[in-house]
Every structure is written in structure tokens, then in C-alpha cells.
Structure 1
């Protein structure tokens, strides 16, 4: 196949591109406008491969989308291009509305026109795979708030949407658009909603890379509120495998939740990173001594948890990495790739706190 990946220079997108090029015989067209979080250095392993092509295009640019689709003739579109950081969406929601909603609409219309011109066989095998987040579901009861363990639910594919932040609201909107284009126009779409990703090549505004780099530089390790917010953590390479499985074997019109089976409190995550660093890069004091507690994020969701039994049952996917093995690989990668870390921070962002101007 020839697969068009939007946002292929981002964290999850680049993992998907690397997975396809390194583990399949498919070709990839990477469409990315290279915002602050898009980084072609994350694709150095596939650069120059005959099955890989890059197009610097914004998904809001209909003319360029039409050109790319006509020129490259993809069999599949995997849509990962998005603004994705909750703190940034609190400070400046407009970019999230523009990219996640208007951009997804623009892409859907360009793909719909392209798909309508395909022959019958190509139309039947074509797929538009929209990659989304578990944050569209809102939050779940926290274990501290319930009397019985049996009362602690998880997100299902049928869980009603209740987004809390401008980011999650914009992603919920894009999910609804994709499903509407399938229902109304017959465009063969599939939606996946994933839990928190972590792993190599992650831009350091997110918790895990931020903590690793701050710890190594002797800076504070900021914990929002009490650090008791719970997330389900999914190693990005496990996610890439799941996404390829869905786009090649998933059923049109279906939604698949993808989780890592690793619910952890934010404080636990930071403490585990500190213990790994104590072992790998020992210093006089414990890295956990750098932990500080800061003002919580406005509207901060208490708990996310994915029930991914559907994708396991129907498509045979399960995560390979445990949280412990995946986190160790992640820390080791950042220790071995200081040049990438330095280059990705050469822009305006220097790991400062965002999202407090509510």
C-alpha cells in the first residue's frame, strides 16, 4: 500500500512512519507543516528510503491537499496531525480550533473528493483512519472517591463524550466530523482513541520528557496539585503497531480504544523516573529531592483509563511493553540522544510552565 500519514513528523506520527518503513513493504507519504512539535530529525532512520516521501503542507490548505492526493495516489490516509498539548490549549485555544476542527474538515473534504474519483475496487479498499485521544471522554471516578473496586469504570468505545479542555473539545469535534462523513457520504472511516503515549522522540512539554530533562539539569520537577491524577500509559511503539493493525484489519465505521494497561498516578510516574536516573546517572542526592508541587491545571481531569479489550479480541493486538520496561527504554533513549533534545528546544519553548492563564 501507499499510506498518507498526516502529522508524520510529530511524536506519534513519526513512530507510525518508522514502524511502517522498518516493518512492512508499504510506502509512506509524510504530510506535516512542521510546527514547533514537528521534527524531521525524528525520521532520520527513514530519510532517503525509496519508500518514504515528505510533503511540507498544512492540513488547512485545501489546494495543497488536493495536489498531494492527486500526485501520490494513496490507498490509505492515517490522520494524526493535531495540536495536542492541554496546557497550550488553555493559553491559546484558537490554534486547536483551526488545526483540529477546521483542518480535519478540510482534509475530509479533500479526501472525499479524491475517494469519489477512485475506481470501484480502490474505493472499497480505501480507508481514512482518524487517530484521537481518550480525553474526549472526560474523566472517570478516582479510586479515592469510590467505596468498592467494582465501582471503578474504564472508558469503552461507547462511553459518552464529555471533554473538559479546549484540546479535548477540539478532538471530540474532529471525531464527530469523521463519523458524520462516514454516515452521510459513505467515506470509509475508522476512529481510534488512545491513552497517554510516552517513549522516544517526545517533545519536552509533556510530563515524562520534561521530568527527565529537568532532572538531569538539576531543575525542579513540577507536580500539578497533589500528583494524584491517574493516567493509563501506552508506549508509543506499541501504539504504532496498533494503528497499523487497525488501518489494515479494522472494520469501516468502527471505533477502537487503545490503552497500555498501565494506570499510574502522575507522582508515581515521576518517582519511577527518579529511581531509574538514580541507577543510571547517580549523583550525591536523590533525583526525587527535586520534586516540587505547583498550582494545578484548570479543569484538570482526575483519571483516564482505557478498556482495550475490543481491539484485543477482534484484531489480536496487545501491548508488548510494561510500564517499567517502556519507561526504562524511554529514559535510556533520552540519555543517549542529547543532541536531538538540544535541537528540538532551540525554538521559543524552554520548558516553561504553560496553561496557567485560565
Structure 2
């Protein structure tokens, strides 16, 4: 979604996810009706630039392109066609309603309505939109999902691709990659993507994005809280977090739970607002991002999250299905790659989703 310069669909594509401290990519190839994971790779930017302290998002374009080139060389990736993910916090999402109209009339109507919903001048953003409700029903109002990304962000990614000698097939907001790789049914699902700097909770109904909200709590804050409580160095706290989660040492659990509860409560709030508006239950939760693999996190969410149930008098704790992201299900892969895929799933969900975009 968003920006696609080429119309010819390639048979293989890279999905490149530029996070705040890691760059991850997967190579997916189309083989008849099957899709094959051919290769993958990742680099923590500080491993190449030891003095690098800033977010990748604000790094010099040349540095980012060099890191991408290093991954491609190390993993011996041959594909040069790529889709890049756009961080959700750089993308503006909104929905609005249009009166019933023909398919041909919609683009002009969206262009007219967009300035009422976008906080930036249209000359400074790149717009994309899709009809999420009412399109197939004549005489029914249309619900439009509008996405806007600042042109400076779009241009930055174009330059990175050019310097990395890649053919940029498309740019796409992270959430759409997650939907493509993780949503396999029509269940109303909350995608909870716990990144390093922030968490994004997106509600998907019948495989269509209904809402998406980000908040500034993520894996780094978990580590910082633990380091402060135990009075240990950041690196030591990170190791303790990964090894123990909330199942191991009691002091580690006590250090992590306050921040995890913030994530849980924000998720509850976002889900509740959706349910109150749409009169629908959130039936399923999928945890993605590096912190999704913390020991005990899946079970803690399943036991403690409170979501509204309809009829409203049944509001209260409901046993929801909580899953760990598995974007590799449905892909064939060489045995040499398969053994690590279970642990990689939450980390590579965006990369897989946007690579699939490139070959569809």
C-alpha cells in the first residue's frame, strides 16, 4: 500500500524492515502457487557502528544504505527488488465516511475530504486510501481508510533504496505488512506489535484495518525499568529480561510487570474503544515484535486482559485466544532455515508481510 512505481509483479522480492536499532530483511520467491522463504538476514546497527547512539530512523541515509548492503552481502542475497516498511508512527491513519457513489467518483471525493482529516497540507504528504465498508452495496455510505505519510519520509526511503542499489517496488506502512503475514481468518483481531521504542495496537476485522494506535512503551523501556530496579548495567538487564521474562527470577518479574501492565492496559483501552464503537468483540490477540517472545508474556496476556463482551451486561474478563506471531506459516522453506523460524516469527512479521506484497 501507499507507493508503487512498477506494475509488473516480480517473482521474488525483499521485504526490508528498518526498525529503530535493527534492520531485518527476508527474501521470498514465488514458485507457481507456492511462496518460498529463500533467505533472511538482520543486523544490529551498533554492531557495525559501535558509537551509533541514535535511532536508525534519524541516521544518515548513507549509513542506512551501507547497513542494508552489509546484510545483503553477508546473507548472499541475490534479489534486488525490494519493498520497504514505513514505521507506523510516521504514518497518519484516519477513517471517514462518504455518501454512496460510483467507483469512478471516489478518488476526487477522497481528495476533497482529505484536508479535513490530515493535519498537514496535502502538498507535503503522500496519500493512499482504500474502501473498507460499503463498496459492494449500492446506495450504502462508504467508509474510507486514509493513510498519509510526509513526503520527506517517502523521499528518504527512495534515496536509501537508490544508494543500496535496490529496485524499490513499493513502500508500505508496517501494519499492512503485519496484516498480510499474520491474519489468516475473518476473526476480529488485535495485533499488538511491541517494538523497541513503542507499541502499536491495531484492530483488524475481516482482514481489514479498522484502527491503529501507537504509544511510547516498548522493549527498551522494559529493560530500563529492570536496570533501574536491580541497579545493573543496561546490557545485563537486557540479558536477564530475555532469559527470564516473567517466569523466572522473582526480582526480574517484579521489574518487568509495571511496564508490561502499561502495555496491557493500553491494549485494553484501544480494544474497548473499538468494541464500543463497532459493537463487536475482539476475538483474538496476536503478539508481535521482539518482546513477544518474553517467557510467560503470552500466558500473562491471556489470563489478565479484560475486554468488553456483547451483550454489554457480559462485560468482564474473557478468555481470549492469544497467539505469538507466526508469519512463516504457509511458506515453504529449505530445511537449513526451518529450524530457527519458530523463534524468529515475531521479529520478522513485518518483513515477511511486505515481501509478500512485492510478489502479489
Q: One fold, TM greater than 0.5?
A: no
**Could you say which structure has the greater relative contact order, defined with CA pairs below 8 angstroms and 6 or more residues apart?**
2
Scaled by the length of structure 2, the TM-score of the pair is 0.29
Question: More strand by proportion, 1 or 2?
Answer: 2
